[in-house]
Amino acid sequence: MQMHLILMQSNAFSATVRAMAGKKAEQALVEEWRDILSLHARTQCELDRALHRHGLCGSDFEVLDVLAASAATDPGGACAFRVQEIADRVHLSQSALSRLIARLEKDGLVERGMCAEDRRGVRVALTGKGRALHDEVLPVQRAVLTRMLSD
């Protein structure tokens, strides 16, 4: 009977220790997540501040960067993306991205055209002015990322 009681207490103690370890692991996971969110917010603020001098925000630059990277791999240099393809890469809703693209188009940085494949879709491409601005601010954006994300 005494041995049975000791085993029960030992099992209860082990369960308590496991629960505490699980709580600590969970808390560490939550703290790590919050650190990631904090780093993202600080980096986004720094990007917005640095790019503002050039008339852009971080999201504007991301769209230009996606379009510039695709154009660099296209022999003609005029590769265009559907709005949804850009949205998937820059993590914006399609409606938010459509407003952003309208603003970039108004500023002469991108142009929209009908999708030849299905006529309902819209493709977006960089203009010469957009490419020039992207080339100008690329080192600024990369410097902020290096400063904020380097250990």
Question: Which amino acid, one-letter code, is at 84?
Answer: Q
Q: What pLDDT, on a 0 to 100 scale, did the predictor assign at position 6?
A: 60
Q: Give the CATH number, domain containing residue 138.
A: 1.10.10.10
Please tell me the distance from the alpha carbon of residue 126 to that of residue 130, in angstroms, as a whole number. 5
Q: Give the count of domains, the chain.
A: 1
Query: pTM for the full model?
Result: 0.77
3-class secondary structure, 55: coil
Domain with 62, as residue range(s), is 1-151
**Tokens 């188009």 belong to residue:** 105
Write out the chain's pLDDT in tens, 151 residues. 565 556 566 666 676 767 777 788 889 999 999 999 999 999 999 999 999 999 999 999 999 999 998 766 655 545 688 888 899 999 999 899 999 999 999 999 999 988 777 667 788 999 999 999 999 999 999 999 999 999 6
CA distance 138 to 64: 10
Task: Give the count of beta carbons closer than 10 Å to the beta carbon of residue 52.
Answer: 11
